[in-house]
Structure 1
Amino acid sequence: MRCIKCKKEAEVRLRSPKVGFCSEHFLEYFLRQVERAVKKFKMLSPGQKVLVAVSGGKDSIVLWDAILSLGYEAEGLHIDLGLGEYSEASRDACLQFARNNGTKLYVVSFPANTRKSIAEIARNARLPNCSVCGVIRRHLMNILAEATGHRVVATGHNLDDEAAALLGNILNWQTGYLARQHPHLPAYGRYFPARIKPLVRLSEREILSYCRLRGLNYYEGRCPFARGASSLVYKRIIEELEEEMPGTKHRFLFGFLKEERKRFVITSLEMKECRICHHPTTSEVCVFCRLMQKAGIEPNLPYNPEIFTPESVLESTGERRD
Structure 2
Amino acid sequence: MATSTASAGKLGASMASETDVGVLLAKTDRNAGVKGVTAFIVHPKKYPGWNAQPVPMLGLSKSMRTNVLFLDDFVVPVEDHLGEEGEGFKIVIRALQPGRVTIAGNALGVARACFEEAVRYANERELCGQAIGRFQMIQSDIAEMATAIENSRALVYKAAICMDNGLPSNRIAAMAKYHASQTAKMCADKAVHIFGGYGLAEEYPVSYYRAYSDMFFTGEGSANVQKIVIAEDALDYKIAECHHGRRGLREIRKDDVGAELAKAWRRGAGTARALAAQSACASASMNSRVRIIRTAS
- Normalised TM-score (structure 1): 0.22
- Higher RCO, 1 or 2 (CA under 8 Å, sep at least 6)? 1
Structure with max Cα Rg: 2
